[in-house]
């Protein structure tokens, strides 16, 4: 028997969607306390959209290139979300910055995964920067989205070592494995508190 009253997720992606797949796998476990209502992509060519469709999950595309302002882009996202039952927005490799106005409409209901141990290495090229700084540890962070980029309250982090000879690619792969553990765990944690 599965759980009733599961947390309804909208997963936002822009590309590959491997984090989305890890959440999808978790949601397929009968006792996982969340389910995916919709996958939304700003990129009509995101591979993750095909994976979602193949799994029979509703998907929506809101192409930012068809909007001349962030406000118009985000209004369209809100319109699409209204078609679905959504408790929590899960940013999983969504590479558009959301405005504070959008975030305020979903207070404590938007989470993000970032490939660094925040507050270190906000923004892009996190692995390259950590290696160049001679760090011995890297990792990923699941956090609430806030008006300031990559700065909301931290839900959980997972660490990996940085090894001699690591390249941004080898480190990214090691961190990504932990992302795939971290995101389902964080969603489970939130489901018990929301
Ligand atoms: C992940 O590594 C995620 O942490 C990162 O993009 C990748 C998406 O991979 N997100 C960011 O850099 C956000 N600032 P995926 O599409 O396979 O889940």
- Catalytic choice (114, 127, 143, 180): 114
Q: Ligand 1: which residues within 6 Å by Cβ?
A: 13, 15-19, 92-93, 113-115, 176, 179
CA-based nearest residue to 157, from 144, 141, 143: 141
Q: What is the tens place of the pLDDT at every residue in 120-146? A: 999 999 999 999 999 999 999 999 999
pLDDT tens digit sequence for 43-89: 999 999 999 999 999 999 999 999 999 999 999 999 999 999 999 99
pLDDT score recorded for residue 4: 74
CB atoms inside a 10 Å sphere around CB 20: 29
Contact 163, 131 (CB under 8 A): no
What whole-number distance in Å separates Cα of residue 14 and Cα of residue 125?
17
Pocket test for ligand 1, best of 39, 114, 115 (most atoms within 8 A of CB): 115
Domains of the chain by range and CATH? Answer: 3-193 (3.40.50.170)
Per-residue pLDDT of 15-43, as tens digits, reads 999 999 999 999 999 999 999 999 999 99
């Amino acid at each position: 028997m599965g759980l009733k009253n599961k947390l309804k997720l909208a997963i936002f992606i822009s590309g590959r969607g491997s984090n989305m797949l890890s959440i999808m796998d978790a949601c397929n476990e009968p006792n996982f306390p969340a389910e995916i209502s919709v996958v939304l992509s700003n990129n009509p060519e995101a591979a993750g959209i095909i994976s979602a469709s193949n799994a029979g999950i509703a998907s929506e595309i809101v192409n930012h290139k068809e909007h001349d302002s962030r406000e118009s882009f985000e209004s369209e996202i809100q319109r699409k979300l209204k078609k679905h039952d959504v408790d929590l927005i899960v940013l999983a490799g969504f590479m558009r910055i959301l405005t504070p106005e959008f975030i305020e409409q979903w207070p404590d209901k938007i989470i993000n995964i970032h490939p660094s141990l925040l507050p270190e290495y906000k923004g892009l090229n996190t692995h390259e920067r950590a290696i160049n700084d001679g760090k011995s540890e890297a990792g990923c962070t699941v956090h609430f989205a806030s008006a300031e980029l990559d700065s909301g309250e931290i839900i959980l982090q997972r660490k990996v070592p940085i090894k001699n000879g690591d390249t941004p690619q080898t480190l990214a792969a090691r961190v990504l494995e932990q992302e795939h553990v971290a995101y389902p765990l964080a969603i489970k944690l939130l489901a018990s508190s929301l």
